[in-house]
Structure 1
Amino acid sequence: MRHVIFPSWLNLPTRDSRKKLWKRVRRIIFRNRRPLMTAIATAGCVLGVRYLGLLQPFELATFDVFIQQRPGESPDPRIVIVTIDDPDIEEMGSWPLSDADMAAMLKEIRSYNPRLIGLDIYRDISVGMGRAELRDVFETTPNLIGIEKIADDSSLGVHPPPLLEAQGQVGFNNVILDIDGHVRRSILFWQVEEETHRSFALQLVLAYLEAEGRGMAISPTDPNSILLGDTPLPSLQPNSGSYVGVDAGGYQILHLPRQNSQPFEMVSLTKLMRGDVDADLFRDRIVLIGSTAASLKDFFMTAHTDSLAGSARPISGVELQGHFISQLLSVALDGRSPVRFLADPLEIVWISSWAMLGVALSWKLRRSKYVIWLLLIVSTGLIGGCFIAFLGNWWVPILPALLTLWGGGLSVMLHTAYLQEELRKSKDFLQSVINTIPDPVFVKDRFQKWIVLNEAFAHFVGYAPISLLNQNDFNIFPIEQAEQLLEQDQYTLETGESSEAEVALTNLNGHTYQVAVKRSLHKDAAGNRFLVGIIHDITRQKQVEVELRRQTEELARTNAELKRSEDHLRHLAYHDGLTGLPNRDLFMEQLDHFISWAAEHDKLVSVLFLDLDGFKHINDTYGHAIGDLLLKAVARRLSNSLRSSDILGRFGGDEFVVLLPGIHSAEDIEIVARKLVTAVTQPFVLEQHQIHVTTSIGISFYPHHAQKPKELVDYADQAMYRAKEMGKNRYTLAKALLSDSSTASSS
């Protein structure tokens, strides 16, 4: 065998030296077990509270304070904002701006040769005169980026300008609010139905970087992160920084606003349209256009809008987009680092280390006034250090560290006071009261041997009292029970805390009891510790608990069966038995609900009444079984042709109804109707029979035709019969809105 000779300077420890080292470490840990356990408990409590999210509002407020205390920055020379405030709206004479006014504004800006134009104004439909002129501007301005709003839980969304969308010149301007309503995050990508959308700010930044010969790429070290320019831009995670379980969907980053009272050059719309603008102000810059009018209420609170004095100055949506763009450009072109966070394990170590420090300082000094002053000094250093780290774009948890520092220090101070009070207790007190208690009572010394016990305890275990003195559990009880009692006694002796535990004990006669043992620790003036235990027989109680548990489980099963039956009956009552679609009662309830919703939100609600053409002939020719299969197939095809928010129901026979909530215009309703007519016209193959069927559709919508659900359905029903009279396989609108000549058909 070949021997390996290590150099003398390596000094590898031998087996004996390792054993000695381990024994020494164990002794150190044992001697300091109280402060160590205090530190662990303090850190655990603070971490538990933190991961429940209870500290998040205060940590976010601390983040805001740090943002506000950063040194000021110069205005960003790459961005100019054209503002539209209330005087501008009054000057223009209307809001929204007409297509003609918007085209004139964009032409005026374009004449100054900006690098990019960001239109932070919704324009999903035409307004006033000038539609062709605005379309021409959209077609001839490749450096123009428009906006859309993606539908989310709070709104239905706003579509982008169709022409800009077709040209790929659109980005979403959705913002994410924290629990206090502030914007501290920006989202770059949003996945909607397997399609990735880019934000308005990112679209402008990427176009700007393209002219600089830079762009965006996947990070070679982390496939889930991107490189902006040459700088990694990792995405925000649910527990990044002081966030706890935040929704980090899409691709979010922490927003760092530009610290300046006037971060961007601003020009009013009125001044622009009068030509009173320096040509160099717009040349080769990003020009953002958006509302700053107080009447339009497009304002947001951010980390730098609340001051320490309590005043708040929200910023407009277009300014917020400017901050998003400025931050991304600074990362890509100026080498500005994005905000970085400690990994979760490092955060736990960071927070726990301050608990250790607080406990160590308090344990060593023991005198309260010195501990308080020292904790104040250390806290000041902690706050200053975290702020310096923040200036380097590191967000380090400060509030949990302060809580563990003070929690650990104060816990030791309170525990020391408690120990001093306990030392005043006397062993004589135990002697005087133990025999007055009818339950079995025992007293053990620190070696866990019985030194005092009453007659009830001796009777319980089946031994004479004299034979039990100076004995332990292993001399009386089975080894498994004795080990369990030893562990519970040791816990109380080491922690000094009272405890209560349920165990099984077998006495000398072989009878096993279920008992609850309550333990407490007592000390005399000399520091001797005594473990006092009281045993309560709970055998009968446990038997009752088992029976109650069995009855509870049976009751739970019965309730579950009743609930399933109730749900099944409700489904049968409100759904068609053949197709599974909502029946007349459920459809009318939902229609009534959406009419109320539409009245509050100024929306249209449409009802489409469908009847299959020639269905009776199909029943007579192929039989009712084929007819039923056809009805189910038609129901499936209609459902697949509708949005998830639309409602399809069956009134009976071959009559179907469709509810379209949140419709913008009558043209949208006709699009859906044509789609349904086309879908039904396609042949059905049922049990090797190719069956052709068509449908006639009547259309009504709220509020133009009727205000009540039944009237709205009746109008649609009447319109359906008119469609049949006109030749079937078509749709027609109710007469209350249009004349006969205005009906439309679909082949």
Structure 2
Amino acid sequence: MKIDRQQFYLFLQKTVFLFLLSGITLGLLYDDSLKRWDNLFYDGLIRLMGRPAPEDIVMIGIDDLSLNELGRWPWSRRRHAKLIDVLSGAGAKVIGFDILFSEADAADPEGDRLFAAAMRKSKRVVLPVASERLSAIGITEILPLPMFTEAATALGHVEISLDGDGIQRGLFLKAGLSTAHWFAFSVSILQQSEGFSFPSILEETKVGSPYTWTGAYPVLISFSGPPGHFKEIAYADVIAGRISSEQIRDKTILVGMTASGLSPRISTPVSGESQQMSGVELHANILHALRSGLHFQRIGFIAHLLITLLLVLSPVAFYYYFSPRAAFAATCIVVLMTLTLSGLSLSVFNLWVPPAVSLVVVSLSAPLLSWIRLEGAAQALSHEKERAQVTLHSIGDAVITTDADGIVDYMNPVAETLTGYTFSLASGRPFNAVFHAIDETTGERVSYPVTECISSDNLLRLPESILLLSASGQEYILHVSVKPIYGETRMALGIAVAFSNVTYVRQVAQKLEFQATHDALTQLPNRYLLFDRLKHAIRKAQRHQKQVALLFLDLDDFKKVNDGYGHTMGDLLLIKVVERLRISGRAEDTIARLGGDEFVLVLENLSGETVIATVAQKILDALKAPFILDNHDFFVGGSMGISLYPKDGDDPETLLKNADTAMYRAKEAGKNRFQFYTKDMNSRVVKRLLMEEDLRRAIKEGELQAYYQLLVGVVEKQVTGVECLLRWKHPKRGLISPAEFIPLAEETGLIIPIGEWVMRTACKQARHWRYLGFPISRVAVNLSPRQFLQKDLTETVARILEETKLPAHCLGLEITEGMIMKNVEGSVETLKSLKKMGVHLAIDDFGTGYSSLSYLKSFPIDHLKIDQSFVRDITTNANDAAISQAIIAMAHSMKLYVTAEGVETEAQAEFLKLNGCDEMQGFHYCRPVPHEEITQMLMMGGASRFM
């Protein structure tokens, strides 16, 4: 049997919708999240069910008037005894005290005995029982004194049962500690006054913990009216005899506290915004409700679920089989039914059926189904829109139709625009007279034989290279298709020619192809096109037994232009470089840009290396001349590596890699030169990569070691500090010179974590020495150029000092002149930040780098270090001696401390002492050694033996 798919989907939608509504209903009932709205509706119903207060229930209030007349609370129980006598004498039916009498009156024991005697005599007094939470063991019962318990006619619990919103709507008719054995206070009063009984229900009890208050048979209460609804007589008026017996006779009397500030107040459904009800009036309401049979039961969960599902699911049939208006009306009816059912069940059957879940789900069901319908309609509309979009695209094409003889009988506005003919001019003309098309590749006229097209009975597509010559002189590249037109009898009526203008698409495609294969800035071929041309050149060289040269050019010091003048100036410079490359190279050669300041030239049809060297030198010479941009002269040289096919590789990747290697060799040799690739260069690259790998492992596995060299003060004649020097103990090669691995670390960026480790290690060790009492006033650490340029250098130093707890003035940082002079303004700011922290700053190897004399006075430094190259021959070379003396004199004139490096002989030390040098270091005092040896030296007196 064939299943109607639409009907199946409709059935599936109904099923899913029903389950969805059922699931929402069940979830909301379990969650209880709508209980607040149920409570609000219940409170409203209770207020609507208000009724006059009965005349036979009278409250005697311990109010403000009574307190003013009779004195402060608590009163002697003589008064309560007198009250019982007065009320009993006046004919009160039952007297209920909403006052706990759990403690004896130490001030008036006789009053307690009189109170008990009055109760025994009256035989109509009901006293309350309550609970009290004891933090140690839980809850305990508060009972009247034994004499009161024995004298009272009955006891009843006065525990309130608040809902989650703090409002009392009901109570437990029985409750008690561990088991529900006490009737409610109002029930006990009713049993004494009216003989009420609840035979089966009230026999139910729950057994719990000995320290747990247990309640049984919860009921909801119908309150008669708001606070102040019941008649109240002042306690003082009764005692004073100001009340007639008629006001008491045959009345149920409730005695309790109503004075402001002393009476506990309880929120009820009939309380106003800020008006709460006293406890005694609450019992009056409960008493009236129980006596009138206006106490309600909450409906059970299963029954509530079934009723709610019936209400929720009943309007679904309307949603599917009637109009949206009728469905909306059904929803409104169900909402009214829900409210009516809830109200009637409460007022007629004393059964509370919360309506909120039904109302919410029913109210949501119609919009939910409407949303589902709208989603379906939106999908259908989307499908229709797609079809319409296809149609619109089709209409957007040019269309010309002809009859069976090829005479034009229709053309749309797009066809008029493309052909240059209006329909009035084209109508009646042969198609080939209106549609002037040529083959873009061959230049020949393209004609459309109508008869052959009709006989083919197929859609014909013409080549993509059709060029339409418009009557207005325009040219368009077209996409053309031809289809026969048939009538109802399948007789050919003519042809339909649909064609679209793809000129712009072709131009965009050509532009995208150019962008994909060329550099955006210089318009040179990029890496992709370079490799394509290089492959073509290699194939051509293979056929003709020729060479191909790949010249890899990297501009020298181009980064300085970008950093100093910005990327815009850098881009202008690159464009000027390309102009010179084009002039210097050969017209048939390929020039490509790989990115940044890297260019590649491919030279073809070569028979020897002489021509290659000539071209390479010509290019480098062309770059030597200054580039004038924005009235600035820029000097940018280049380093070039050259690889040859087939000698140095037979594929583009290998040739480019080898040329790159040769270029770096040219840079190492002094820049502004070219270098042919040789096989031994690869071994250098491999060695460098291996060393980089070993260095990374050394950082990870702790092969780097901190050595220390003593700094000896000339005036102090003792050790004043140490300089921390880095050593690498390779597991196979032993100690590796810093000159070998520091440049590599600087280039790869590994110097940053290495430098941070050295600084932290030095600070820790210096703090340890100071703790041992050694005279280490400063530990000096060299900063690398890359370290010094880090933006977070100051934060790093501060963090290390904080971690190691070394005072800032005990850390010395040594910077070379060259590092500062690369960016004077930025360097001064960094030095000021470090100086502000208290760090000791020194210029290392002074006099060997950039000339910084004109800036020296603006540098926030503490001392200069004379380079060992000046100290080495200081006793034999007059120039070195003069330079050293000049540095010392200049430093002292600027109040700078002076340290001489590389002191190896007594003669050198004596010369420096005589010329006022402040501090010395070198092999004469101590070689760089591990910290253990420095510790031993310090324990033996350090370098003082040399002074």
TM bracket, shorter-chain basis:
0.3 to 0.5
Query: TM-score by structure 2 length?
Result: 0.36
Q: Which structure exhibits the higher relative contact order, with contacts defined as CA atoms closer than 8 Å and separated by 6 or more residues?
A: 1
TM-score by length of 1: 0.45
Structure number with bigger Rg:
2
